[in-house]
Amino acid sequence: MHRIVLALALLLAASAPSAAQGKRVALVIGMGAYQHLSSLNNPVPDAKAIAAALKEHGFDVSEHYNLDRADLLDVLEAFKREATNAEVALIYYAGHGMEVEGKNVLAPTDMEIECENKTARRSVELEQLFAAAGNAPQQIVLLDACRNNPFPQCPSRGVNSGSGFRGLSLVGEPDRTLLIANATLSGSLAADGDPGAHSPFATALIKNFNEHPRLYFGDLLNKTAADVRIASRGSQIPEITARGGSPRICLDATGCGEGGAAPSPEGALTDPAAVAEARAMLTQLGYLGDASRGQGEDLLADAIKRFEAKTGLAADGKITPTLLAVLRATKIAGLPIPGKTGLVPVAPGSTEHEAGSTFKDCENCPDMVSVPAGRFLMGAAKSERGKQKSEDPQHEVTVGAPFAVSEYEITFDEWEACALEGGCTNYRPQDSGWGRGRRPVIYVSYDDAKAYVEWLRQKTGKPYRLPSEAEWEFAARGGTSTPYASGETLAPTQANFDASSAAGRSQAEYKGTTAEVGTFPPNPYGLYDMEGNVFEWVEDCWNPTHAGAPSDASPRGGDCTRRVVKGGAWYYEADYARPSARMSFPKGSRLNVIGFRVARPLE
């Protein structure tokens, strides 16, 4: 599956006045007719739709399409002059964008690339786009970039591999107030959309522009991210990162928040087919009992309101096109029934692999285990031994759809298969003299793990990724609620960790090295070494606690210079191996205590 990356950054001066005051200008750019890169179907239609929405809400919009480098630079310079006296300057760019040798660039229609030298000719640095917002107190930059593979003429290699080209890296500047939304995980690619349609993120963004113009952008982006995650059944996971606080600005020129006039209500559907469909889906999702069939409209309206409240829709109790669309997406994604605990049942045959089954997507691919959907309490209970402050507060998380996790930590054999095929940046990590083969690969950074993930994506066409912290903890617990998947304690016969300091233990019970994967028994979900052996990178940026964490198991933004690791390691005591335990390392760290495993959604 071809993939795109979209980033939205909102930059605000600390003392900026209200968005309802002053001139609001927008620059909208769509690029699709590339001369030397792969052409794109949807950036121009996407950009035109965004431009129309902005005009409707009072922006003075300047539109430009399929620009070469000279024209793009002229347009940016002209807009910079226009933005000088504006209160709000918004820029939207749709087209190819990428990281080339560590630098974020945008692709004019005449850009060329040289595969051997890993260079991009006639590119425009992303910073020039940011500079075009000038001195406007409130600046919004939306990047819908890196659709499909822009380099069909280069050897087929992982986007994060030795080709030197990859999706835009995470955009951010620590000295500004920034709200960043990637349409998928940074450095990845996501769907451009079918010809004649919009990209998945653009579709959700336009919908929320139209339905929630008074919603603060931070809240609007969270709704948009949830829409994309549901519509893609978890294969596209938006990444939201805030730096310096979330800006208080919305699309509507007259004001933001709950105090203003609400958007015009959507027309209610009264035809019997729509009513019957809504009733059937609400019954299947648990909002109506079977006995409710044929009963009055009040019961149906109450069920609709409860569903709307759960999914963030306006709770008006009416059957509308939007309500039906969200019901259908929720039904397809297998989201949980309200008020129930434990695992959410998934209809047989609703995913490609049944829960508990194992599979491989290619000969050299890792063995994968299908993990069921469900709810769990993430974090440590107050009485849990070894608990750290970072594991607070304990909170309920819903894993809305089944997904797959690699049965074992990624091994040296699996890493070397990637490197031999030209992926994984041709990096050959050391093994500390302990041996390679079926031992977990070590001395791999977060970026190294992402390179392996991208090789799997390219090789299989499947949306592999790192698990989120919540997904990892859910899988590690294996349906249990005790400190360890095995119970209240962890024995040296159950995992590879430093047991020498425990009461009554001997130094002989400290192995001092990694062990081959699968040496110790699996957890209830059939996953090996979730506790001990090596820490495992997950997708989430570091946050010192779980306060404000998402409830849908999606990855969390935060300090993205550091990434979360889970599971403990051979060098650490048992407390670090608890599923609730969490640590972080700089994402460039290559250590002999860190490895990783992979995940992917199920179709």
Q: How many residues does the chain have?
A: 603
Q: Give the angle subtended at the CA of 370 by the CAs of 364 and 376, to the nearest 5°.
A: 135
Residue type at 185?
L
pLDDT of residue 196: 62
Show Cβ contacts of residue 91 under 8 Å, excluding neighbours closer than 6 positions.
Answer: 26, 27, 28, 29, 79, 129, 132, 133, 140, 141, 142
Q: What is the pLDDT of residues 418-466, one digit of tens each?
A: 999 999 999 999 999 999 999 999 999 999 999 999 999 999 999 999 9
Question: Who has greater pLDDT, 572 or 530?
Answer: 530
Strand partners, 93: 29, 143
pLDDT of residue 422: 92
**Separation between Cα atoms, residue 190 and residue 412, nearest integer Å:** 28
Q: What is the mean pLDDT of the chain?
A: 78
Q: What is the pLDDT of residues 360-409, one digit of tens each?
A: 999 999 999 999 999 999 999 999 999 999 999 999 999 989 999 999 99
- Strand pairing report for 24-30 and 88-95: parallel
Show Cβ contacts of residue 220 under 8 Å, excluding neighbours closer than 6 positions.
Answer: 208, 209, 212, 250, 251
Reply yes or no on whether the pLDDT at 491 is more than 70.
yes
pLDDT of residue 353: 80
Each residue of 541-572: b (16+ CB within 10 Å) or e? bbbeebeebbebbbbbbbbbebbbbbbbbbbb
CB 469 within 8 A of CB 564: yes
**Separation between Cα atoms, residue 448 and residue 446, nearest integer Å:** 5
Which stretches does DSSP call E strand in 330-419?
A: 358-359, 368-371, 374-378, 395-399, 403-406
Task: For tokens 């999606």, name the residue.
Answer: 554
CB 561 within 8 A of CB 361: no
Reply yes or no on whether the pLDDT at 87 is more than 60.
yes
Q: What is the mean pLDDT of residues 297-303?
A: 82
Distance of CA 473 to the CA centre of its chain: 17
Strand partners, 596: 537
pLDDT of residue 328: 62
pLDDT of residue 256: 80
pLDDT of residue 589: 92
Taking each helix axis from N to C end, the angle separating 200-211 and 217-231, rounded to the nearest 10 degrees, works out to 130
Q: Residue 155, Cβ neighbours under 10 Å: how many? A: 10
Residue 253: band (very low, low, confident or very high) from pLDDT cuts 50, 70, 90: confident
pTM for the structure as a whole: 0.50
Instruction: Say if residue 393 is preceded by a cis peptide, omega within 30 of 0.
Output: yes
Torsion sign across C-alpha atoms 442, 4, 355, 483 = positive
Q: What is the mean pLDDT of residues 26-36?
A: 92
Reply yes or no on whether the pLDDT at 346 is more than 70.
no
Reply yes or no on whether the pLDDT at 247 is more than 70.
no
Residue 227: band (very low, low, confident or very high) from pLDDT cuts 50, 70, 90: confident
- Alpha carbon distances (Å) from 183 to 53, 227, 378, 401, 560: 19, 11, 25, 19, 16
DSSP letters spanning 287-328: SS-GGGTT--HHHHHHHHHHHHHHHTS-------HHHHHHHH
Which stretches does DSSP call E strand in 78-163?
A: 88-95, 97-100, 103-106, 112-114, 119-121, 124-125, 138-145
Question: Who has greater pLDDT, 224 or 248?
Answer: 224
| The most confident of 84-88, 99-103, 114-118, 553-557, by mean pLDDT | 553-557
Reply yes or no on whether the pLDDT at 131 is more than 80.
yes
Reply yes or no on whether the pLDDT at 335 is more than 50.
no
**Separation between Cα atoms, residue 378 and residue 494, nearest integer Å:** 22
Question: Who has greater pLDDT, 590 or 230?
Answer: 590
- Is there a common fold for 5-243 and 358-601? no
pLDDT of residue 239: 60
- Alpha carbon distances (Å) from 124 to 12, 71, 297: 24, 11, 58
Both tokens assigned to 79: 């807009």
- Please state which of the ranges 5-14, 174-183, 482-491, 592-601 shows the lowest mean pLDDT: 5-14
Q: What is the CA radius of gyration of the chain?
A: 25
Query: Burial of 261 by CB count in 10 Å (0-12 exposed, 13-18 middle, 19+ buried)?
Result: exposed
**Separation between Cα atoms, residue 479 and residue 76, nearest integer Å:** 54
pLDDT of residue 215: 84
Q: What is the mean pLDDT of residues 569-575?
A: 92
- Specify the CATH number of the domain 358-601: 3.90.1580.10
pLDDT of residue 489: 93
- Please state which of the ranges 67-81, 196-210, 235-249, 374-388 shows the lowest mean pLDDT: 235-249
Q: What is the mean pLDDT of residues 574-582?
A: 96
Q: Which of these, 103, 119, 145, lies nearest to 8 by C-alpha position? A: 145
pLDDT of residue 49: 92
Looking at domain 5-243, its CATH class is alpha beta
Q: What percent of the chain has pLDDT over 90?
A: 43
Reply yes or no on whether the pLDDT at 222 is more than 80.
no
Q: What is the mean pLDDT of residues 51-70?
A: 93
**Separation between Cα atoms, residue 295 and residue 313, nearest integer Å:** 24
pLDDT of residue 337: 37
pLDDT of residue 410: 98
- Helix (H) / strand (E) element for 452: namely helix 446-460
Both tokens assigned to 160: 């994060």
Q: What is the mean pLDDT of residues 338-348?
A: 37
Q: Give domain limits for the chain.
A: 5-243, 272-319, 358-601
**Separation between Cα atoms, residue 300 and residue 327, nearest integer Å:** 14
Q: What is the pLDDT of residues 170-220, one digit of tens each?
A: 554 433 444 555 555 544 554 555 666 677 778 888 888 888 888 877 677
Helices then strands, each counted (H, E), the chain: 11, 23
pLDDT of residue 173: 44
DSSP letters spanning 519-567: SS---TTS--SSSSSSEEEEEEEE-SSSTT--SS-----SEEEEEEEES
Strand partners, 563: 541, 585
Q: What is the pLDDT of residues 115-128, one digit of tens each?
A: 666 677 888 998 89
pLDDT of residue 130: 84
Q: Which of these, 185, 183, 173, lies nearest to 131 by C-alpha position? A: 173
